[in-house]
Structure 1
Amino acid sequence: MKEIKRYTVTSALPYTNGPVHIGHLAGAYLPADIYVRYLRAKGKDVVFVCGSDEHGVPITIKAKAEGVTPQQVVDKYHKIIGDSFRDFGISFDIYHRTSSKTQHETASEIFKTIYDKGKFIEETSEQYFDEKAQQFLADRYITGTCPKCGYDKAYGDQCENCGSTLNATDLINPKSTLSGEQPIMKSTKHWYLPLDQYQTQLEKYILEDHKDWKTNVFGQCKSWLHQGLQPRAVTRDLEWGIPVPIPGTDGKVLYVWFDAPIGYISATKELFGLKDAAWSDKHDEYYLKADRKPQTSAASWEEHWKSKDTQLVHFIGKDNIVFHCIIFPAMLMAEGSYIWADEVPANEFLNLESNKISTSRNWAVWLNDYLVDFKDKQDVLRYVLCATAPETKDNDFTWKDFQSRNNSELVAIFGNFINRVVVLSHKYFEGKVMPMGAMTDFDKEVIAELQSYPAKIGASIENYRFREALQEFMSLARLGNKYLADTEPWKLIKTDEERVKTILNIGLQIAANLAVLAEPFIPFSAKKLASMLNLDNVSWDETGSIDLLKAGHQLNEGVLLFDKIEDDVIELQIKKLMDTKEANEVANKVTVPAKENITFDEFSKMDIRVGTIISAEKVAKTKKLLKLTVDTGIDQRTVVSGIAEYFDPESIIGQQVSILVNLAPREIKGIESQGMILMAEDADGKLRFTAPTAKVKNGSEIR
């Protein structure tokens, strides 16, 4: 095992064509932040970098749809995303961006180094070209019918209906999204990274040296390697991006998958380039935490990217595994001077109310929106997302679970314990820590258990088991709660004040330990608790002690760490989602194509009248059928109608309807039906009567 002198920790660069949601936070940013905060509390040298991924086709599509420039799109969402991370306490040392000058220079330099070494393959191939727009078409600029499921809005790289990965040439009836025209094939030259030439090196790196990677990471990499790696294009025909740094390549840029991971390196370079800049400044190109400098003793950025005693850790979602474990390392192997990732703790996906989170369908909880409805409750979401993190399989976020964990865990266990011990200390001893007297066997058992928690929580974090670490943390809070409940100092104060002094001292020592151990998970609440306890900076290695608060130490006034979330608040959030779902169904409802034309004479044979339902009852042994008696103005007749799933019989008596009166009678379930009620179907599939807007005489013709 190598000696580790410093850590470089990255989180996947979010794409700047929209805000970030809870799935993003749970996947790559919250676990990384917990890990880094823990390392800092341990006094480790660490740099934590991230930034906006600002190139690629979706950016240009978004810009075209909004009638703005790509730069305006990325400027807008870079700020929204960066502010969201800051508001949720994601403690990047720098939040950079790939449209920056440093990124352009770094990516160009790496490409040029590989190019000069002759590592790329140059190939001329046929690609789709839009003659009307005079532009080669990237995959997302082409839509057509999926050859696997028949979905007619599949993209040139993926079908979002069935999830299949596609090539643009696989599509049936391809169309350009720029002009709507059918594209032609045209020759173009591009450069490829020959991944197959690094197959053996990658197999040793992954299959031999990193067998201990998470099962999902190792399994996906093994599958790719087993299939055999193929050359992959590193350039594209686009205007938006980093220009290919070779003469005579106008209109070509670095492919975003090649460009984006280099953003980690350029962010680190930018961070070290700041040197003695005012760390409280909020710059346009990055966000820095105002109250500290990066916790690293490295003299230059190279030590974090080119030194063998640096631990490089990538936090990502499962959709980025191949890019970070195979493609990015292959790029660095080709370049020759960089280290490769030691750990890639990728999470699975987080679902929302049992449905896949979808940005296009607005089925998400957006971080910037959350804080509008739940002001100052960042830690509640951090806690719940950590407790339900999709570490080994896809998991589900529900608003009911969110409410339950807040009320029954944060409020009833952690918050309740802190409130009790602080309030009682103020009530009985003017907020001072009393000296510890004689200890009972129970006291000693509780202290011994307290002393075991820092190591258990730390071990879980170091092994990227953040849910487990949070459970251990809450077990310590439960220990404190149970200790007070079992010792009942509020009763003992009447007969044994000395014993109460010892009980509250031990309780406060547990609270002080919780303040330090909480910081990686719920930093805002940890800071509030430390302020209540008047606790100075304490390192992780000092926890487990029963002497964090000295006898005579003065506490500050207590405040509630958490408050209960009521049912109506949660019901509002669920309603917002249901409204979104209904709107999506309406928007995506496919209108049935028109039937074949009929002549006017054929239409005129239909006799449609206004009638009134005068009686209605369910047809026995059926779910869908109602037996109706309708006054047609001509007669009263029986009609059997399949509307029982949408209407109660009693509710429709007196309802005027449109009825086809000259439809030949038909026997249904032993009942002769003498006509048909005409209905309309909503986007949500519900039936509606096509009655006149004003009451009219029965028998009136509808023409």
Structure 2
Amino acid sequence: MKLVYESAKEPAKACLLALQYAGIPAKKLIEPVPVVTLELGDQDKSGNFIELMGELSITRYLMKQCSWQGPDNLHLDEWILYHMKPIINNTPKSQVKSNQDLLSAVGYLEQQVSDQFIGGQKPGSTDVLSFTYLYQYFSGNPWMVKTFPKLANSYKQIGEVYTSVQEELGEKVKAPAKVGKTVEEFAPHATILRDKSVPKVPIEGKRNVLITSALPYVNNVPHLGNIIGCVLSADVFSRYCRLRGYNSIYICGTDEYGTATETKAIQEGLTPQEICTKYHEIHKKIYDWFDIDFDYFGRTTTNQQTEIAQSIFLKLKENGELNEDNVEQSFCESCNRFLADRFVLGTCPSCSYTDARGDQCDKCGKLLNPEELIDAKCFLCNSSPKMKTSKHIFLNLPNIRDRLEDWVSKSSSNGGWSSNCLKITSAWIRDGLKPRCITRDLKWGTPVPLPEYSDKVFYVWFDAPIGYISITANYTNQWEKWWKNANNVELIQFMGKDNIPFHTVIFPSSLIGTGENWTLLNNISSTEYLNYEDGKFSKSRGIGVFGDNIIDTNIPVEIFRYYLLSNRPETSDTMFKWTDLADKNNNELLPNLGNLFNRLFKYLAKSNKPIPNASTLTSFDEITLENIYILTKRYLDEMEELKLKIALKTAMEVSALGNKYFQDTEFWTLEKKDIERFKTVINLSANVARLVALLLEPFIPSFSAKVYNQFGIQRDSREETLLEVLATATSPRVIMTLLKEGTKVGNVMPIFKAISQEQANTFKAKYAGKKDN
């Protein structure tokens, strides 16, 4: 047997370590080979020596030659190499505590340790592979040893065997750090996992909720205003629905067709498909960091999109809901291309805003046509476009108007649309219901299925909302049970206010015009604008913090989620300010949540005993439970009404009441003078803390996951739908049943820490943008 490797990097070390465990003599040669190779010594029928290549196959083969037989964890071995290894390659030791992706991955492995090792009482290939890549972070690092004690213990044992490998390679032998007195450390990122392997379909007799958020466009990196306006808000409601036991799915994805994609591709020297893939991955990475838990996050450049959009179009044509007409369009002779309305820039004729687009002025909100702009310019080359005639297809909205108005009246009443949403929709119906062009002179888009229109594609605002349907079709081949089931599915959509008319007028009209039983909007949650400091977000000018910047701040995700949701622009524009973020963390999260959980957990961990059962409740206890119960019921009503910002405030009020109860009872004096009273106070306080984590789970799930870890809570069917237990309860005493008997607190670590004004000012200066000379 012969092991050949180029350098003493991790792949070779994993194989050398496995050789040590297997106890098989082998020659070890350092040669310029592309991958580490193990020649087994046997020959095949052609006379060639049988080889294994790569640390995955070699390590798995060698560990199977050991005298013990461990479990075969192929999925974990592959997960280490294809998921965790890329994260490790981009994480130096100095950044391990700030890289939430890495800490989450290590935390996942920590959960897999079943005995002494992941493989049981003896190490297996998974232990060897994970040790090889992660040992660098544990060696000399007491924080990692303390945070992940199971892995640290197994790595300590593997390290004793690994010493001979290090000596053979001429490396200095290091030992894992010993746990001693260290500076107080904070709980690493934690995630609430769920099984998404089986796609959901509507269930008769259950509340079936289809949740979508506006499809983000792939020509830019999302900023915080984009995130709070759609995906984050929808994630909150989606998590709430699951905790209520509703049969719900959350569908989203990137909107990839249209002129904006073509333009971005030209700017970056890529094909439209390449630009879509690049930005789809950027968006997905950012949403993953933000703990956005989609049931499916897809994209619109799929066969399903083409098939469904074309079938809707042909049905509209069959029903006589389409017209043809000639259109005067902006044409840039310099670029030799028609320009989409939004890519004609100029001065608004209404408010004189100098950066208005050809479809709408972002300052005054007036809908425009490109020819109305003063001093119109091409977005690409800045030359003045000309008008040129082209034949197009129109959706005959006036013909659909009566059916649309009837639907709006019923849906807005039954669903409880906001007054702002209804106002915008009514204005559009009153002023904007003229035939609307649904085709464009482009190459990058869904093709129009008519021979005479082979050089055209569908316009983005006809095509893009159909993406909700096609992405669902990628999620499950039973998509029609969600989208052609108007009597049994509630469609609830989240978006910024500028998207409202396309979801309450254009998209519904397209579906209504087919005459089929499409699932139409039940309720809509829209936001105003989130601005940045004293202006607007601008990626080109470096103003504002965008999704890719957020990850680099090293501020935990729960703080950003809390700040954005407590500052959600539900009824008016709001402002992101770094000093305000620091204030909310230091003056709301720390003294409220931090105080309740730190004091309670430290006390419970110190006793090292299960939470005691409650004895007799006093009138003070009953009043406290009643007040918390009333707040909980109010929270449930607010969430049902999509009043997310107010519901978050209510959840924090529950935490404040828990703090007050804990303080007013003077629990620290009770253990010695009234043990029965002490038991009741501790039990009630712990259950209220569990309730707070539950109410906040939709908003800041990573915080709740850290709480659950410290409570030792395992997710089961009851935990997954615990809000429904509260919703159906008729007595405040239900709160005393949230924690299971025998619950014990361990591995206590603080969750929040202060953000200094100096840090806030540093971030403010960093993202202030480029200064004009």
TM-score range, shorter chain: 0.7 to 0.9
CA offsets, 1:332-376, max 9 Å, x none? 01122212101011111112224233444433221221121134x
Measured after TM superposition, the shift of residue 390 of structure 1 is 0.9
CA offsets, 1:541-568, max 9 Å, x none? 2344302334433222221121111222
Measured after TM superposition, the shift of residue 133 of structure 1 is 4.3
* 2:302 maps to 1:100: yes
Once the two structures are overlaid, the 10-residue window that deviates more, 157-166 or 309-318, is 157-166
Measured after TM superposition, the shift of residue 29 of structure 1 is 1.9
Is the 1:57–1:140 Cα contact (8 Å) retained in structure 2?
Answer: no
* 2:396 maps to 1:194: yes
Amino acid at match of 1:194: N
Is the 1:123–1:192 Cα contact (8 Å) retained in structure 2?
Answer: yes
Is the 1:196–1:231 Cα contact (8 Å) retained in structure 2?
Answer: yes
**Counterpart position of 2:565:** 386
**Counterpart position of 1:434:** 612
**Counterpart position of 1:70:** 272
Mapping for residues 440-479 of structure 1, pairs under 5 Å: 440-479=618-657
Distance 1:304 1:270 in 2: 13
Is the 2:530–2:575 Cα contact (8 Å) retained in structure 1?
Answer: yes
* 2:727 maps to 1:549: no
Is the 1:235–1:253 Cα contact (8 Å) retained in structure 2?
Answer: yes
**Counterpart position of 2:30:** none
Once the two structures are overlaid, the 10-residue window that deviates more, 315-324 or 538-547, is 538-547
Distance 1:4 1:351 in 2: 40
* 2:527 maps to 1:325: no
**Counterpart position of 2:428:** 224
Is the 2:210–2:482 Cα contact (8 Å) retained in structure 1?
Answer: no
Aligned residues: 555
Distance 1:144 1:7 in 2: 42
**Counterpart position of 1:313:** 492
**Counterpart position of 2:763:** 573
Distance 1:367 1:13 in 2: 16
Measured after TM superposition, the shift of residue 18 of structure 1 is 0.9
Q: 1:518 to 1:171 in 2, by over 3 A?
A: closer
Distance 1:320 1:111 in 2: 22
State which of 476, 481, 485 in structure 2 corresponds to 1:272. 476
Mapping for residues 388-407 of structure 1, pairs under 5 Å: 388-407=567-586
Highest CA radius of gyration, 1 or 2? 1
Gap runs ≥5 in structure 1:
274-298, 587-682, 684-703
Q: 1:271 to 1:221 in 2, by over 3 A?
A: same
Distance 1:553 1:130 in 2: 70
Amino acid at match of 2:736: I
Measured after TM superposition, the shift of residue 304 of structure 1 is 4.1
**Counterpart position of 1:247:** 451
State which of 597, 602, 623 in structure 2 corresponds to 1:418. 597
SS in 2 for 1:19: coil
Once the two structures are overlaid, the 10-residue window that deviates more, 236-245 or 57-66, is 57-66
Amino acid at match of 1:166: L
Distance 1:536 1:453 in 2: 26
**Counterpart position of 1:525:** 703
Distance 1:401 1:193 in 2: 47
Q: 1:250 to 1:181 in 2, by over 3 A?
A: farther
Measured after TM superposition, the shift of residue 209 of structure 1 is 4.5
**Counterpart position of 2:547:** 367
Is the 1:400–1:570 Cα contact (8 Å) retained in structure 2?
Answer: yes
**Counterpart position of 1:499:** 677
SS in 1 for 2:388: strand
Q: 1:68 to 1:156 in 2, by over 3 A?
A: same
Mapping for residues 275-314 of structure 1, pairs under 5 Å: 300-314=479-493
Measured after TM superposition, the shift of residue 207 of structure 1 is 3.7
Distance 1:93 1:23 in 2: 22
Once the two structures are overlaid, the 10-residue window that deviates more, 355-364 or 404-413, is 355-364
Measured after TM superposition, the shift of residue 70 of structure 1 is 1.7
CA offsets, 1:538-597, max 9 Å, x none? 22123443023344332222211211112221111111233x1xx1x51xxxxxxxxxxx
Measured after TM superposition, the shift of residue 136 of structure 1 is 2.8
Distance 1:241 1:254 in 2: 6
Q: 1:114 to 1:65 in 2, by over 3 A?
A: same
Q: 1:128 to 1:21 in 2, by over 3 A?
A: closer
Measured after TM superposition, the shift of residue 433 of structure 1 is 0.9
Mapping for residues 155-170 of structure 1, pairs under 5 Å: 155-158=357-360, 164-170=366-372
Distance 1:151 1:467 in 2: 32
Distance 1:133 1:404 in 2: 50
Identity percentage of aligned residues: 35
Distance 2:530 2:449 in 1: 39
SS in 1 for 2:655: helix
Gap runs ≥5 in structure 2:
1-203, 727-733
Measured after TM superposition, the shift of residue 184 of structure 1 is 4.2
**Counterpart position of 2:438:** 234
Amino acid at match of 1:63: A
Distance 1:397 1:198 in 2: 41
Once the two structures are overlaid, the 10-residue window that deviates more, 306-315 or 127-136, is 127-136
Amino acid at match of 2:467: G
CA offsets, 1:265-310, max 9 Å, x none? 011111113xxxxxxxxxxxxxxxxxxxxxxxxx654344433121
Once the two structures are overlaid, the 10-residue window that deviates more, 483-492 or 318-327, is 483-492
Distance 1:481 1:162 in 2: 46
Measured after TM superposition, the shift of residue 163 of structure 1 is 5.7
The alignment yields a C-alpha RMSD, in angstroms, of 2.3
Q: 1:160 to 1:465 in 2, by over 3 A?
A: closer
Is the 2:611–2:744 Cα contact (8 Å) retained in structure 1?
Answer: yes
Q: 1:194 to 1:183 in 2, by over 3 A?
A: same
**Counterpart position of 1:126:** 328
Distance 1:418 1:82 in 2: 32
Is the 2:482–2:519 Cα contact (8 Å) retained in structure 1?
Answer: no
TM-score by length of 1: 0.75
State which of 726, 750, 755 in structure 2 corresponds to 1:560. 750
SS in 2 for 1:14: coil
SS in 1 for 2:654: helix
Distance 2:351 2:660 in 1: 57
CA offsets, 1:423-475, max 9 Å, x none? 11222x32311121233221222222233343221111000111111111111
Measured after TM superposition, the shift of residue 388 of structure 1 is 1.2
